[in-house]
Amino acid sequence: MQNKTQLITQNLKDYILYTAALSQWEIHDTFDGIVFTINDSRESLFNFVFCKTELSIPQTLDYLKTRNREATWVMESTIKSNVLEKYNIKHASTPKKMLLKIRNYLLPADTIPNLKLITVNSNQLLEQLDLYTSRIFYHRSGIVSTFFRGLPNCSTQLKFFLVSLDDKIVGTCGIYIQDNVVGFYSDGVLPIYRNQGIGTQMVLERIKIAQESKCQYAVAHCMKPSVNLYKRLGFQVLGNLYLYTSTV
């Protein structure tokens, strides 16, 4: 098993590359120390660059500019900030890396027993996922359904859910499983349903799925509003995930 703090970044990388391949988007890995994805959108949201060294940053930026693509960069912490400034790659956010050992994890009592996760397994449900995530995360309509267009044909490795309570959609969430590690993604609750325990129950429901799938670890990268929620459920904070953006 690799260093635990690396599990979070590796799962994110595997998740993006798996989704890009599933949806038949471009994956580029010919530049040293860099692998990146390009989809149909110019926006940075799902054009990802995973960067280990400085060597190929100029080539990658030049290529992205020729394709008129913005990108989200996931940087190794060893790359200095002044290097990024030199190439006009700007800091976007620094979510916390979270990890939970779930093999012998004792689930607490459900906070909302009647919460349901509806698996997105059709184009119609994918369109609904796009609609609700656009309301939660304020992205452009169509960008999620485009990047995840292969999702209705997916196996158990990647799943997204519409979260239902009393027959109303209240949020969204997802999982990606690779090498006995489950990553939790796109946790979101509609504004009118927040602060009611829904986020906690969404995490618990996915831990149940992960335990059934014999996963050893659950990982996530959390912005400030979600950190305490995950910590209350036993997740450890293992440092920062450094995210940057490049423009054209």
Note whether residue 246 is domain-resident.
no
Q: How confident is the model at residue 76 (pLDDT cuts 50, 70, 90)?
A: confident
The count of structural domains within the chain is 2
- CA nearest to 230, candidates 194, 193, 199, 189: 199
What's the whole-model pTM score? 0.95
Q: How confident is the model at residue 143 (pLDDT cuts 50, 70, 90)?
A: very high
Q: 15 with 51, same domain? A: yes
End of a domain among 53, 71, 96?
96
d(CA 175, CA 19): 12
- CA nearest to 72, candidates 47, 89, 53: 47
Q: How many CB atoms lie within 10 A of CB 144?
A: 25
Q: 43 with 125, same domain? A: no
The backbone torsions φ and ψ at residue 7, rounded to the nearest 5 degrees and listed phi first, read: -60, -35
pLDDT greater than 50 at residue 1: no
Report the DSSP pairing between strands 71-75 and 243-246.
Answer: antiparallel
Note whether residue 36 is domain-resident.
yes
Residue by residue, what is the 3-state secondary structure of 42-92? CCCCCCEEEECCCCCHHHHHHHHHHCCCCEEEEECCCCCHHHHHHCCCEEE
Q: Which residues contact 150 (CB under 8 A, 6 or more apart)?
A: 19, 22, 23, 24
Q: 111 with 219, same domain? A: yes
Q: 142 with 207, same domain? A: yes
Average pLDDT value over all residues in the chain: 95
Tell me if 198 sits within 8 A of 165, measured CB to CB.
Answer: yes
Q: 90 with 103, same domain? A: no
pLDDT (tens digit per residue) in 151-210: 998 777 999 999 999 999 999 999 999 999 999 999 999 999 999 999 999 999 999 999
* Type of residue found at 34: I
pLDDT of residue 2: 58
Angle between helices 224-232 and 198-212 (to 10 degrees): 60
Q: Is 159 exposed, middle or buried (0-12, 13-18, 19+ CB in 10 A)?
A: buried
Tokens of 169: 């959609």
Q: 108 with 132, same domain? A: yes
Note whether residue 245 is domain-resident.
no
For residue 238, what is the DSSP state? Answer: E
Q: How confident is the model at residue 42 (pLDDT cuts 50, 70, 90)?
A: very high
Give CA separation, 124 vs 19, 133, 149, 159, 243, in Å.
Answer: 18, 14, 11, 15, 32
Q: Which domain CATH number covers 126? A: 3.40.630.30
